[in-house]
Amino acid sequence: MRVLGIDCGSRSTGYGIIDSHEGRQRPVVFGAISLPAKQSLGARLVTVHRQLRQLIDSYTPQVAAVEDQFYLTNFKSVMKLGQVKGVVICTMALADIPIVEYSPLQIKSAVTGYGRAEKQQVQDMVGRLLGLASPPRPHDASDALAVALCHAQVMTTESRIKRGISRTDIPVSPGS
């Protein structure tokens, strides 16, 4: 399965595409869509749509995963983030790509094992899990990869449950 993870932001929207097969993931592409503050919000939203559309056309993800909305203290920031997320959802819907949402706690737990992990911990673990030579940069890209990894883990677990394979059925090598 090819998963597109998206970290919505009004100044930078991260993306990360991974391939997931039988519990193993490998990176395909990752980065961030820069959205200059001097541009109007409308122009930034069009940029998000166009660049996501290019990623979809080039890499054909089967599903998209985004971070669920969380609470911020700045109302204007919440509104801008919501507008970016709306464009992301609309872009996926227009491309017939299902979209799923995960809370920050779910994402951090899936990647680090600790739901309150710091950004640097998430970034380091994403790099390790994907076998990268160094942690992915910028943080928006590593956050997007973390969302994709979270979805891949959920799908792997659901697949094992459907096949009737429990964690105890998975062979463990000596010394583990």
CA distance 143 to 103: 12
Catalytic residue among 7, 57, 124, 143: 7
118 is annotated as an active-site residue: no
Q: Are 44 and 32 in contact (CB under 8 A)?
A: no
Catalytic residue among 67, 68, 143, 158: 67
End-to-end CA distance of the chain: 28
Catalytic residue among 140, 143, 158, 169: 140
Q: Collapse the DSSP code of 165 into the 3-class scheme (helix H, G, I; strand E, B; otherwise coil) and give the result.
A: coil
Q: Residue 58's closest CA among 33, 87, 29, 85?
A: 29
57 is annotated as an active-site residue: no
101 is annotated as an active-site residue: no
Q: Collapse the DSSP code of 52 into the 3-class scheme (helix H, G, I; strand E, B; otherwise coil) and give the result.
A: helix
Catalytic residues: 7, 67, 140
